Every structure is written in structure tokens, then in C-alpha cells.
Structure 1
């Protein structure tokens, strides 16, 4: 795998040809970062080294990020929102919270990344694609003599009571993707019935999409629902974790990027946007142990990235489930129908 040092060098070569930032006001950039912390940290270290632009990072899950951008719309503090599931980025576009921007690199991107751009009216673009799946801890299952799941249906088995975690869809993009996936896969009525039964086996709904995966890695939970791109990194760290996509089919996130409308450092935001779409910059995901499919077709892909051709992906309606009203409706129904239930 490409080393972090070589990625620094590649990024430096790439950006050395860029013209200097126009004025002192643009010598800083405020990024709302909704990817894993290692990736956010790499950005904060690398982008200033190759551009001279100071980067201020604020890490938030996608639901929290959308809420913050909306709360600050009269006086934006953030310049660019990097990463996180595409649904809230589409909701932000619909709410006129993000700016229209067309990158010259658009032609280099996969069709699903360009579709995010088109569906958002030019206010968002795809950075990566990550399938949703199920994680389990091999040692915990063996110790507790629990069967290995292979499907969504398996998660309803009574022996998994108190053993499963999924994040809260109100704050987590991964959990909202799971919610919208189940609704599309099963139909809304059957999906609510399924989630009510699944609730009996849940041990908690943490705010971050990463938290259930970490809980499974540490043996605090046996099973979790989340994006399978995180599994190789956990395995490389020595945790006995496995992940799979359910037999019935699954959805996938289109991790996205959006410039905030009224960004205080707009030119720096555009410069970062261009950098983030380059093959060299997209390889930082792998160095940060994130193994999603990168959006630039020229990016050299790590062999641990899931082969989406071998995954049964549903035809996820990003446009519908990215609508602000639909997102709000589903999350409220989940609060009323599922989270309020006793366990």
C-alpha cells in the first residue's frame, strides 16, 4: 500500500503547479470533516504543507454537520464540508445551504459521483462509494456460542438479544443509510416491523457511525451495522472482526463534498475541492484505513477495497432519500416507532 510519506510527496508535486493563494484572507480554510478521524488528521497536516493554507478541522457526523451548517446559515463559519453520506449533502443543497461549483475534474469521476453532482444541482460531488453491511467479532461469537449471521433476517434471531449495535440515524449517516436501505429493500410497512423486532436485540444506538464498529472490535458488542469499508482497517489493527453484505441486498453511501454557501474563504475552499478530487489526494483514504471506492477513475485502488461488482446492491434512490423533508420524516418515524420502544 502507498505509504503516508509518498502520499505527502505526491500531493506536494501535484499542488506545486498551482498558483499562490490570492490574498492573506485566503490563507486559512475551515473544514467540516465527516470521515474517520485519521483521514481528517491527514488532511489537516498535509494540505497546509503543500499550499501554505492553514486548515481548521471540525469533525462531525453527517447529521450533526447538516444541523450545524443549517444553524449557521445566516453567518457561515465553515468553508467546505468534506465527506459523510451523500443524503444530508443533498438535503443541504435543497435547503440552499451549499454553493454551486463545477470542477474541471468532473469528467474524471465515476458516473455515481457525477450523479451526486447532478442531483444536487451542482452543489455537491461524490468522493467515494461505500457499501453498507454487517460486522461481527469472531471471538465473541465463538465464546458466546452464537451463530455467524449472513443476512438481515439472521439479525432477528433471539440469541442475539443485547448483542447488536447500530448508530442513531438522526446523527449518523451510516445509520440513516441503513434505515433508507431497509425501507427500499422491504417496503416501508415491513421495514418498520423488521426494525421493531431488531430493536429487541439492540444494545444501543450511539451517535457516530464508527462507534458500533469500534464496539465490535473491542468485544463490547458481537454484531454491528455500518459501512464495510472500515473492516480492513480494524483487521489490520489486530481485531478479530469480519464484515459482509447481507444476502438479501444492501445499499451504499456516496460520500460527498460541498462548498458552503457564503463560505468566508471561498477561493481556498475551491482550491481544496480541486485537490480532494485528484487521484493522489483520494489515496489518503487508504492511508487512513478507509477502504471505500474512490470517485476519480484514475485513482490506484487498494486491493482491500470491496469489489462492488460482487455485491448485491439495491437501486438506492439517492434523490428521494436525500430530500430534506423525506429524511426528516423517516428519522422522526424511527424515533416514534423504534427508539421509543422498550427493550
Structure 2
């Protein structure tokens, strides 16, 4: 699915669309809704609060990474407890769609979405939809780097250098969609054999495989680690808050995510799930991300992209194959191979 051109157009500012067309829900609705949220807690909370104010629907929210949420949805499939899975990388959402864990829904908001978001919906049989986009990369702590005398890293290849031994954090791809995107990106960029050799070489420089994909950005910001591999917008969040970090778009090229949203099959509140789904695709709802210091590029054409968001038109993006790397078989194969060859490798 070739959507890099659409992303670049979006990042260049061609996203104003139909100004003033805001979709809203009546404030008299009632009932409950359970949302599994796979973005950061700081963004989950205002989304829930705004939806409750607009609809009167009580929302029960659980925050977990996308890999953890997929595991939970699978475990609960005989007796689903969640209604909506909102946020997180698109690959596990596509796997959930393939496995019949989510349901088809064609939102009336589809016509307002960027082509890459609508393509995500079409590809999944309308069992998921794109809600934001963001490029993969890494950040480094400039103060820590300055004390080492090492040159600034600028490429994936730089992460193999001896001066960065025990100075890199990245999430575990079994729990983190961010880290799985890294694995899939490197495979597409380098070829599978070279990608796994690269990850095994980088393994000696990794001091921790975190559960959350955004955690390495925070660790680099606080000086817990020198380098954190994350989506670039997570590193921007730390920089905006004053942390001494610099964001890197690797020189060889990099992958990206289409953050997604799905309605869980058999959830207890299907009507309210659709109300959340439609509302979350509106410009007003999508612009809550910037207010929460989350700087992804929104999927609604009429939503304003945060000025702090990485300029996707300047980043060397690969033609990421969402269909292949979001499939159950490919994800399972690559994760098993990573466990055996990288995660279990000696330092």
C-alpha cells in the first residue's frame, strides 16, 4: 500500500480541507463504554473526559501498549470486556481484524479522512481505521553525549558503535507496537538477514528492553540512557517540555506508523462504541492530542497538525508494507525469530 506520497503531502500543509465542519454528538446520551487506550496516559485522559462531557456516556479506560492490548483482546475473545481499542500502531490492529477480533464499521466520517487513513480502513475490511501517523526514529541526550566526546549519531548504523555500549533503550517488540515497527522497518530497509544481524549487533548496546514504546524517549530525556529508539513524536514531546534531547531521522530511511482504532467484536456496548468511533475521527477530538503534548499527524483533513509535529515531507520514509507486516503469520514469525536470535542472545 503506497501512501508515503499522501503523508508527505499532509506534512507539507495540504490539510486544511473543509474548515468549520465539526461533527458533534448530543449531550443527552447515556450508558457506559470501555475503551482500551494505546497512546500515552496524558492523551487518553482528556479524550475520555471530552467524550463524557459531550455525550453523558461514562467511560471506563485502561491504558496498555498495543502489543499488550492485542494480547488482552485475544484472551477475552470468548467474553469480551472492552468496546473500543483506540490508538497504538496499526500492525496489531490489522492482525486483530484478520483474526476476527474486531468488527466492520463504516463511519460517516470516512469521507473527511486522509487517503492513508481511509486506505487502512479499506485494507482491513473496515475493521480498523487510521487516526494519526508518525515516523520512527530515535533521540539522544545532548548533555550526556557531550560528556562522552562521541560524534552525534545520525543513522541506524551509528547505533552499533562501541561508544554506545549499554547506552541504548528500545522496547520489546512483543509488547510494543513501536518496537515491532522497528523490526519490520529494518527488515524492509536492509533485507531480513542483514536486519537481524544489525539487531543482534545492537543488542550489546541495549541496556533495557522496555514494555512501552514511548518509555525510551523518557529515559533519554531524563538521562537514564543516552539513546532511546521511539516514534519521533514521542521524543518531540520530551524536547517541548525542555529536555536536552535531539531527534534523529535515520539517514538510511525509516518506517512509520498509522495509529489506528477498532471496535472489539462482542463488546458489551456496541452502540456507544460507534459513537466514540465517529467522535474520535472529528477534527475537535483529534486536536486534543496536541493539547496533551502528543505530536502525531492527525488523520482528519480538517484537523490542524501540531506545529511541533515532525515534518514528514523532510523524512526519508520507506514504502512500508502494512498488509504484509500487519498479518498474523508474519508478525508471529518475526517476533519468534526476534525472541530466539536477538532477545535471547548473550551480551
TM-score, normalized by the shorter chain, greater than 0.5: yes
Tell me the TM-score range normalised by the shorter chain.
over 0.9
Q: State the match for 1:157 in structure 2.
A: 161
Of 13, 26, 29 in structure 2, the residue corresponding to residue 18 of structure 1 is: 26
Per-residue deviation at 1:238?
1.6
Residue 19 of structure 1 deviates from its aligned partner by 7.3
List aligned pairs for 1:152-301, cutoff 5 A.
152-301=156-305
Q: Is the 8 A contact 2:27 2:55 kept in 1?
A: no
Taking the aligned partners of 1:292 and 1:63, their CA distance within structure 2 comes to: 19
Question: What's the TM-score, normalizing by structure 1?
Answer: 0.93
CA contact (8 A) 2:27 2:54 kept: no
Note the aligned Cα RMSD (angstroms).
Answer: 1.2
Range with bigger deviation, 231-240 or 91-100: 231-240
- In structure 1, the residue matched to 2:91 is 87
Within 2, Cα distance between the matches of 1:249 and 1:320?
Answer: 19
Deviation at residue 340 of structure 1 after TM alignment: 0.7
Secondary structure, aligned partner of 2:261:
strand
User: What's the secondary structure of 2:133's corresponding residue?
Assistant: strand
- Map of 1:303 onto structure 2: 307
Please give the alpha-carbon distance, in whole angstroms, between the structure 1 residues aligned to 2:285 and 2:50. Answer: 10
Unaligned runs of at least 5 residues, structure 1? 1-12
Say whether residues 1:65 and 2:69 are aligned partners: yes
Deviation readout 1:63-98 (Å, 9 max, x if unpaired):
000000000111100000000000000000000000
1:137 to 136, 141, 149: 141
User: Match for residue 323 of structure 2?
Assistant: 319
CA deviations over 1:278-308 (Å, ceiling 9, x no partner)? 0110001101111111000111122111221
Deviation at 1:14, TM superposition (A): 5.0
State the number of aligned residues.
326
Query: Which residue is equivalent to 1:104?
Result: 108
Q: Distance in 2 between matches of 1:230 and 1:338?
A: 25
In the other structure, the counterpart of 1:42 is 46
The CA distance in 1 between the partners of 2:28 and 2:122, in whole Å, is 30
In structure 2, list runs of 5 or more residues that go unmatched.
1-21
